[in-house]
């Protein structure tokens, strides 16, 4: 069955009999009804957003699950499953008052026991970003009653409130997961959350469908009847699907950059330019491989790879060339003295000399693993192959379906080079530390390079817990001095993203992330 025929079945009486797909025109108030079709690029590795930071699970999970707060476009936390919170004077104790009357999708009550279970058993052990933070903070979690949760942190952590979102700390039901292997629980394929939409069906390779949660705690919401997450692996096909009206929303992560101008100029499409939160795209190097074990060898790659060409061709100009270990998305922390532009201007002759110094034999072959559903990775891999050929290295491009790529890179660590992208989620300590911190696990979306440096670990740990930005900036600049010298991972560029949507959709972008707050979205003709 083709994507188009499958979608037609989803949007006809088979699954939506008796509903109104589109609201009446020229209505000034939000209207109920309609199905929005949202693009994802592949089958999710799981639908449990508490154990992954994958984009497809995050897209879907933000509609199924909720955090204690959500974050508005000004980066201010707003009440969600928590109605209010207080912070102690020493900034180590956080007390949340939970919203009363919230139900899980199976009708059971949400309570503080769910919060404690989610943190202790899922986030602290399995969530790639949040577990890194919690490992250092070592919070003691108390539940004095069903509607109160108290976190007592070992150290201060400035963005603690802002990690309580459906992307960093989505709540999962204790009664479903307690006593089970969370990663293997069948609820990961038929999830139960508290969010505005409920799981309906998952047709692998085709689509995931959610329907309105009629028992949602926010009266009158959501407005839409259903959401369909249509799987379209090829970037150009996603653009065509938006142009033809087959899909309604294309998140920046899935956008083919050469298509942005054409799509944004279409009067049936609305565009929102600018990444919600800084995000870096990078080349991670496996330091356990002999050819990449020395910093001189990795510096050679940094000197040979044309970062400007990555921006111009792979991203069609929708990015900024790599600045350093944390990009330039947080201007307050960049280390100009150690910037890539100073340390690694494009110089193939120097790259050859560094490879000779590192005793890397000519014609050494490096396997570059990537997800081919990301158009910029296809183009970026070809650029890297051509760049490194000029300095005597062979690059074997290894495109792998996303779940296989994750297994190969993060679990097996069977790669030489890999192209990846990580979001900062609004603070470097949330999203970027995991690129460099010592990681002895084989968990997804953590440092798989094998790089381990105690000085870096200590500096990043201090930067995460420092109370003022000036101190954090000093620590980050010192860490960049080391990381930009060692180059276990080369940041190729900072993303400048663009979300694209049908003009039928209203109420988008109420949260800082375009995938959030879809309880607010409604549809007209």
Tens digits of residue pLDDT in 431-482: 999 999 999 999 889 999 999 999 999 999 999 888 788 999 999 999 999 9
Q: What domains lie within the chain, and their CATH numbers?
A: 3-65+195-274+498-523 (3.40.190.10), 69-177 (3.90.76.10), 279-495 (3.10.105.10)
The H or E element containing residue 475 is: helix 469-486
Alpha helix locations (H) across 218-322?
235-244, 260-264, 295-304, 307-309
In tens, the pLDDT along 283-311 reads 999 999 999 999 999 999 999 999 999 99
pLDDT number for residue 194: 98
Mean pLDDT of 202-218: 97
CA distance 38 to 29: 23
Encoded tokens for 33: 């009804």
In tens, the pLDDT along 50-59 reads 999 999 999 9
Judge whether 101 and 194 are in contact, CB under 8 Å.
Answer: no
Given a cut of 80, is residue 141 above it in pLDDT? yes
475-499 burial string, b = 16+ CB within 10 Å, else e? bbbbbbbebbebbbbbbbbbbbbbb
CA distance 322 to 497: 15
First to last CA, the chain: 28
DSSP 8-state symbol, 254: G
CA distance 307 to 423: 19
pTM value > 0.85: no
In tens, the pLDDT along 477-510 reads 999 999 999 999 999 999 999 999 999 999 999 9
pLDDT number for residue 397: 98
pLDDT number for residue 465: 86
């Amino acid at each position: 069955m083709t994507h188009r025929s499958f979608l037609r079945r989803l949007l006809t009486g088979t699954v939506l009999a008796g509903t109104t797909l589109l609201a009446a025109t020229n209505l000034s108030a939000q209207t109920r009804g309609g199905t929005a079709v949202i693009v994802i690029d592949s089958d999710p590795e799981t639908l449990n957003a508490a154990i992954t930071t994958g984009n497809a699970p995050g897209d879907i999970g933000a509609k199924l699950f909720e955090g204690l707060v959500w974050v508005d476009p000004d980066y201010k936390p707003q009440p969600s499953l928590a109605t209010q919170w207080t912070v102690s004077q020493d900034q180590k104790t956080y007390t949340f008052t939970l919203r009363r009357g919230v139900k899980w999708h199976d009708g059971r009550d949400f309570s503080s026991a769910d919060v404690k279970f989610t943190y202790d058993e899922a986030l602290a052990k399995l969530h790639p970003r949040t577990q890194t933070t919690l490992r250092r903070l070592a919070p003691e979690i108390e539940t004095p009653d069903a509607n109160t949760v108290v976190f007592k942190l070992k150290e201060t952590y400035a963005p603690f409130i802002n990690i309580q979102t459906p992307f960093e700390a989505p709540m999962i039901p204790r009664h479903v997961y307690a006593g089970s292997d969370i990663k293997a629980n069948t609820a990961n394929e038929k999830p139960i959350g508290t969010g505005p939409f409920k799981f309906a069906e998952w047709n692998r390779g085709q689509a995931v469908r959610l329907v309105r949660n009629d028992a949602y705690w926010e009266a009158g919401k959501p407005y839409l009847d259903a959401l369909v997450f249509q799987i379209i692996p090829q970037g150009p096909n996603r653009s065509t699907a938006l142009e033809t009206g087959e899909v309604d929303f294309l998140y920046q992560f899935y956008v083919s950059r050469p298509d942005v101008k054409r799509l944004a100029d279409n009067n049936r499409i609305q565009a929102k330019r600018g990444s919600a939160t800084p995000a870096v795209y990078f080349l991670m190097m496996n330091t356990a491989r002999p050819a990449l074990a020395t910093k001189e060898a990795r510096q050679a790659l940094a000197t040979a790879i044309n970062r400007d060409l990555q921006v111009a061709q792979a991203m069609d100009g929708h990015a900024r060339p790599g600045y350093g270990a944390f990009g330039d998305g947080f201007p307050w922390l960049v280390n100009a003295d150690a910037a890539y532009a100073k340390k690694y201007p494009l110089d193939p002759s120097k790259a050859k000399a560094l490879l000779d110094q590192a005793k890397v034999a000519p014609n050494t072959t490096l396997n570059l693993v990537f997800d081919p559903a990301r158009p910029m990775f296809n183009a970026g891999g070809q650029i890297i192959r051509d760049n490194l050929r000029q300095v005597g290295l062979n690059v074997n491009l290894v495109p792998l379906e996303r779940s296989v790529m994750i297994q190969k890179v993060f679990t097996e660590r069977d790669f030489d080079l890999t192209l990846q992208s990580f979001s900062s989620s609004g603070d470097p300590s949330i999203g970027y530390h995991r690129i460099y911190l010592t990681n002895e696990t084989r968990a997804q979306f953590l440092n798989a390079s094998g790089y381990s440096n105690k000085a870096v670990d200590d500096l990043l740990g201090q930067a995460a817990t420092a109370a003022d930005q000036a101190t954090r900036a000093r620590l980050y600049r010192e860490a960049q001095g080391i990381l930009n010298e060692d180059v276990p991972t080369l940041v190729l560029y900072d993303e400048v993203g663009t979300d694209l949507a049908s003009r039928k959709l209203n109420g988008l972008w109420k949260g800082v992330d375009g995938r959030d707050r879809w309880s607010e979205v409604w549809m007209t003709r």
